[in-house]
């Protein structure tokens, strides 16, 4: 289930399940969005991106959905694996292409 | 993919000393480098934007005299935390924006981060 911790919300899933991580962004002028994965003690890694003229984009095992009406992004991970355990951040970018990071969600995958 | 390195990966220093962190783009030229700070269980907060050969642009609330940024070349930016105090202990992450023949790209690559602990 999903719970909100002191700073980071946490999503716990079983290995093999699908995971859905949500993100609300703040700036309606943002036109480019990126999902990053950050493992403990490491820098963020690019997962998938989407531009505002799209509402869905698929990668390998990951899908990003964008709902501009409610300023909402989601990251879907299919067949979640223990190696997917990490903190996931969405980032919104405008014309300056400087990402503003969202709050982050900690994904815990139980074997 | 493009690689960004940071050195050192972790550093422990005494209060009042200065610490320099290097960020290098290893196989590409970076028009712009960015410095972020991340406290435990929190998001990345942009500190400053660094362009090669010009002064860095600092975000509101970030002291430019405390966090000195030098961007001497298209592949190297340094962040110096001057007179460090325990509250400066954090995870410092740089990123580099790829320079392409057509101009600046929106693609950024992040370094592995530097853990700073000030005693």
Report yes or no: B49 at the A interface, CB cutoff 8 Å.
yes
The reply to whether residue A6 touches residue B106, judged by beta carbons under 8 angstroms, is: no
CATH number at residue A67: 2.60.40.10
Structure tokens at B107: 């693609």
Chain B CB contacts of A36 under 8 Å are 110
pLDDT at A47 over 60: yes
Q: pLDDT band for B66, please (50, 70, 90 cuts).
A: very high
Mean pLDDT of B67-77: 91
Has residue A1 got a pLDDT over 50? no
Given 3-state DSSP classes, what are the helix, strand and coil percentages for chain A, each rounded to the nearest 5? 5, 55, 45
- % pLDDT > 90, chain B: 72
H-helix or E-strand containing A86? strand A86-93
Contacts of B108 in chain A (CB under 8 A): 97, 99
Phi-psi region of B64 (alpha: psi -120 to 50; beta: other; left: phi over 0): alpha
Q: How far apart are CA B97 and CA B100, in angstroms?
A: 10
Q: What is the mean predicted confidence (pLDDT) over A83-87? A: 97
* Cα separation of the two ends of chain A: 15
Are B49 and A98 within 8 A, CB to CB?
A: yes
Number of domains in chain A: 1
pLDDT computed for residue B99 by the predictor: 63
A7 falls in which pLDDT band (50, 70, 90)? Answer: low
- Mean pLDDT, chain A, rounded, equals 90
Pick from A18-27, A94-103, B90-99: least confident: A94-103
User: How many Å apart are CA A34 and CA A101, to the nearest integer?
Assistant: 9
Range of the domain at A8: 4-110
Question: To the nearest whole number, what is the mean pLDDT of chain B?
Answer: 91
């Amino acid at each position: 289930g999903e719970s909100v911790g002191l700073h980071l919300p946490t999503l716990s899933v079983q290995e093999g399940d699908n995971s859905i991580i949500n993100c609300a962004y703040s700036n309606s002028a943002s036109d480019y969005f990126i999902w990053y994965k950050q493992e403990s003690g490491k820098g963020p890694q690019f997962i998938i991106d989407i531009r505002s003229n799209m509402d869905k984009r698929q990668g390998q095992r990951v899908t990003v959905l964008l709902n501009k009406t409610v300023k909402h992004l989601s990251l879907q991970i299919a067949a979640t694996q223990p190696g997917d355990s990490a903190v996931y951040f969405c980032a919104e970018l405008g014309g300056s292409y400087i990402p503003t990071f969202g709050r982050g969600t900690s994904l815990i995958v139980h074997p | 993919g493009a690689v960004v390195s940071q050195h050192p990966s972790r550093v422990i220093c005494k209060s009042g000393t200065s610490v320099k962190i290097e960020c290098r783009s290893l196989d590409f030229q970076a028009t712009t480098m960015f410095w972020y700070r991340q406290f435990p269980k929190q998001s990345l907060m942009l500190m400053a934007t660094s362009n090669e050969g010009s002064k860095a642009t600092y975000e509101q609330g970030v002291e430019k005299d405390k966090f000195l940024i030098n961007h001497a070349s298209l592949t190297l930016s340094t962040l110096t935390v001057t007179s460090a105090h325990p509250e400066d202990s954090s995870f410092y992450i740089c990123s580099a924006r790829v320079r392409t023949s057509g101009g600046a790209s929106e693609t950024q690559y992040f370094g592995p981060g530097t853990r700073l602990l000030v005693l």
